[in-house]
Structure 1
Amino acid sequence: MSQIDTILTLIAQKHLGIDTLQTRHADSLDFHDTAVWCLKDALEAAFQAGVEFAASNPKAKDAEIAKD
């Protein structure tokens, strides 16, 4: 699992109560009801993680950023 995947999974677990971001091919496991305030918290955490990642890797290549 990449560093970004790990960070996103941790955010999903902490803010959304989602155990994994892996597709499990079952509606009950792949779709979740989420409160808007939880979604907002998760988006803010992801944004902050991106800011911190960029600050620690100031010379990230465009190809690395765009690969996803």
Structure 2
Amino acid sequence: MNKHIEKSLEAIARKHLFLDTLKTRNSSEDFEEQSIWSIKKALEAAYQQGFKDGQQQ
């Protein structure tokens, strides 16, 4: 995965899922409870970002 995609996904995770990082920490901090609506918003944002990035190519 390239740096642009990683940065985009981390921004979406912070905004919609309130996660500080998407990096694996190999501890209980790797497990979070999330509401369905926040997951849905994050997936929608990722889809829209992918669509936008695809149009720029």
TM-score norm. by structure 1 comes to: 0.79
Alpha-carbon distance between aligned partners in 2 of 1:12 and 1:30, rounded to the nearest angstrom: 13
Alpha-carbon distance between aligned partners in 2 of 1:2 and 1:22, rounded to the nearest angstrom: 13
Match in the other structure for 2:11: 10
Please tell me whether Structure 1 or Structure 2 has the larger radius of gyration of its CA atoms: 1
The SS at the match of 1:45 is helix
Gaps of 5+ in 1: 58-68
Aligned-pair Cα RMSD in Å:
1.0
Match in the other structure for 1:64: none
- Paired-residue identity, %: 41
Question: Which is bigger in relative contact order (C-alpha 8 A, separation at least 6)?
Answer: 2
CA drift at 1:47 = 0.1
- Give yes or no for the alignment of 1:19 onto 2:2: no
CA drift at 1:51 = 0.2
TM-score norm. by structure 2 comes to: 0.94
